[in-house]
Structure 1
Amino acid sequence: MALNKNALIRYKTIDKCLQNQARHWSLEDLIEACSDALYEFEGKDVNISKRTVQLDLQMMRGDKLGYNALIEVYDRKFYRYADPDYSITQIPLTENDMNVLSETMDMLRQFQDFSLFSEFRGIFNKLEDQIYTERHHKPSVIHLDRNADLKGIDLLDELYQAILKEVVLEVMYQSFNAMVPSETTFHPYFLKEYNNRWFLVGRRSDHERILTFALDRIMGIDYNFTETYIPCPINADDYYKNTIGVTVLDNRFLKNIKFKVDRKNAPYVLTKPFHASQKLIEKHEDGSMTFGMKVHTNYELERLLLGFGKSLEVLSPRQLRRKFSRLFEEAYTLYK
């Protein structure tokens, strides 16, 4: 059963009140305590009716939330737990709860390099240890690809913070084609993840062209507080809307790609399109299918299509078809 935030705050407040049996708690006292708690969290007065708190008590007594709290009324006016040691925070987790928590921990672990979660790392570790201590060990049913040993991943949070704070960077960068690294005054705009690798997107001070730096090729970064930050002129979704991967080209390279996929692989391409623009053009009698999409003819597109080998045939444009023909001929010579 889903809980809204205010209801959860009220349940926890009532629970805390009823644990304090040194004081008598009337319905009016519980209403006042809940109002104070909501004001503390929301920063504004929230009107709580008597009916609302009565329904909260009823809900806590029931099993819909798994509380089954033994809340008794004494002197016809005051509320308390029949067991003074009871608390809704101490009820045991169900197996389903533990499964959900385990999978959530696996997902959160993907973001542990961000300082946003740094203060929770100890809590996550304790929670994870408690979960695995109290249950039978089972393999995760959710597995996310993550290359923890990727060079440059340690820069991820520092770059993230620089973007948020709009700080100009001095980036020492060395591409795979460069003999030595070079230093660039760089205005960072956003981080991009593709194929389990991270990239920094921004521009140089002396040129408006948007550049993409792979984090594993960044040799070092420093801060430049003397130069004024140039705001980001683009929207990331618009910037990548015609692109597969991270290499955004100009409109000269924006082409209508037409390709045919054999019967065995066509369902995979149909259910998991290469790009948002992909359309089914024709279903053939032999089970193969012809698709079309409009994207930049960049390196990532070529790798994606070439990865299907003989299962995929590029029909147009002719320039891309001829290039693939040449590449397959060159590849064939390697296996003669």
Structure 2
Amino acid sequence: MPVNRNALIRYRTIDGCLQNRQKKWTLDDLIDACAEALYEYQGIDSGVSRRTIQADIEMMRSNKLGYEAPIIVIDKKYYTYADKGYSITNIPLNQQDMQVLGEVSDLLKQFKGFNHFTDLNEMVSKLEDKIYTQKTQRAPVIDFEKNDNLKGLDWIETIRKAIVARKAMCVTYQSFKARAASTFCFSGYLLKEYRNRWFVLGRSHNRYSPLLTLALDRIQAIEEHEDPYRENKDIDLATYYNDVLGVTKSLGQRDNLVVFWIDAANAPYVITKPLHHTQKLLKEDETGKIFSIRVIMNFELERELLGFGAKMRVLGPRLLVKQIKQQLQKTLDHYNIQNPEFPHEDNGEVTEQ
């Protein structure tokens, strides 16, 4: 049966609420959440009636849309899912969904080839591959890089909405180095993906605070905060990460000319997949090639260079050469440590000592 956009927004909103088991959801709570979602996405500020949300819940419970959502009422007041892992987004796509996806794919394909929409090429390929696998029930023909165990992805939409609405967030966060989590007010500016991990760039409201880059997989909770949003007045978000590998960067940090040698066998890989958009070929001979990139020195740069092992030699700057040598020496020291309790290799077989 046809479902209009407003109804779909309400279904998704109710679904998102019921998945959040940290809060008890009354019917009035669901009404308020749906009204807010309709205002944000459609500009509708007329509110939502109780009868509408009650009808939505019954529709979600039914099989008319294929949801059969296990919505129950606790203490005659609070709505939740009987199955903690349920979501309407986890059910198989129906024929109507497939038709909508096909129409979206056809629309997006019209923009392929335009310079301003180059990022759409991968999106269209992913969408068409998804439609193909659903229709034919065959294995995908494109295997995109993914990490099914990646944490923090649920925060992306929450943070995006806060940035667009210019609202401050109360973030509970624990870095890998911290012994305990801390909670602070935060104004977000930019969501950034690096190697399948997501980060948010912004500023903490704790006194004077420099820019912070928070890993979404280290965020434990996000709530709205009453503090006024602190606008970004320091950086150009469109170019902020142009001089860096990864996301580790501080205001005022200057870039450096990093020069490195790659052996002849592996140089083609660096040519076809440059380490950075500033990469230049400086010199070459039969043993290999010398390249340069202009970037800020950070942890991600060291990790990228160390990943080449003996195939690469960093030539400058001196500080980076020293740091790389120290890391390589630590690596050798680790291999010199004997561990009799660990299985060792003997004549190609792993045995216990």
Instruction: Please indicate the TM-score interval, normalised by the length of the shorter structure.
Output: 0.5 to 0.7
Query: Which of the residues 135, 140, 157 maps onto 1:131?
Result: 135
- 1:141 corresponds to: 141
1:325–1:105 Cα change, 3 Å? same
The separation in 2 between residues aligned to 1:306 and 1:129, in whole angstroms, is 39
Identity of aligned residues (%): 37
Q: Give 1:145's aligned amino acid.
A: E
Q: Under a length normalisation based on structure 2, what TM-score does the superposition of the two structures give?
A: 0.57
1:269-306 Cα distance to aligned partner (Å, 9 max, x none): 112111111111001133x0000111111000000000
- 2:159 corresponds to: 159
Shift of 1:104: 6.3
- 2:303 corresponds to: 303
1:197-224 Cα distance to aligned partner (Å, 9 max, x none): 0001111123352110001110101101
- 1:201 corresponds to: 201
1:167–1:318 Cα change, 3 Å? same
RMSD of the alignment, in Å? 2.7
In structure 1, stretches of 5+ residues that fail to align are: 1-89, 111-123
The separation in 2 between residues aligned to 1:307 and 1:132, in whole angstroms, is 40
Alignment of 1:6-21 (within 5 A): none
For the Cα contact (< 8 Å) 2:172–2:184, is it kept in 1?
A: yes
The separation in 2 between residues aligned to 1:312 and 1:106, in whole angstroms, is 35
The structure where helix makes up a greater share of residues is 1
1:170–1:130 Cα change, 3 Å? closer
Q: Give 2:155's aligned amino acid.
A: L
- 2:283 corresponds to: 282
For the Cα contact (< 8 Å) 2:210–2:251, is it kept in 1?
A: no
- 2:237 corresponds to: 236
- 1:220 corresponds to: 221
The separation in 2 between residues aligned to 1:176 and 1:130, in whole angstroms, is 39
Secondary structure (helix, strand or coil) at the match of 2:154 reads helix
The separation in 2 between residues aligned to 1:191 and 1:161, in whole angstroms, is 11
- 1:173 corresponds to: 173
Shift of 1:242: 0.8
Greater Cα radius of gyration, structure 1 or 2: 1
Query: Which of the residues 97, 107, 126 maps onto 2:126?
Result: 107
Aligned pairs, number: 217
In structure 2, stretches of 5+ residues that fail to align are: 1-98, 110-121, 337-353
Secondary structure (helix, strand or coil) at the match of 2:185 reads strand
The separation in 2 between residues aligned to 1:315 and 1:268, in whole angstroms, is 19
Alignment of 1:240-319 (within 5 A): 240-286=241-287, 288-319=288-319
Q: Under a length normalisation based on structure 1, what TM-score does the superposition of the two structures give?
A: 0.59
Secondary structure (helix, strand or coil) at the match of 2:239 reads helix
Shift of 1:106: 6.7
1:169–1:251 Cα change, 3 Å? closer
The separation in 2 between residues aligned to 1:290 and 1:104, in whole angstroms, is 35
The separation in 2 between residues aligned to 1:261 and 1:130, in whole angstroms, is 44
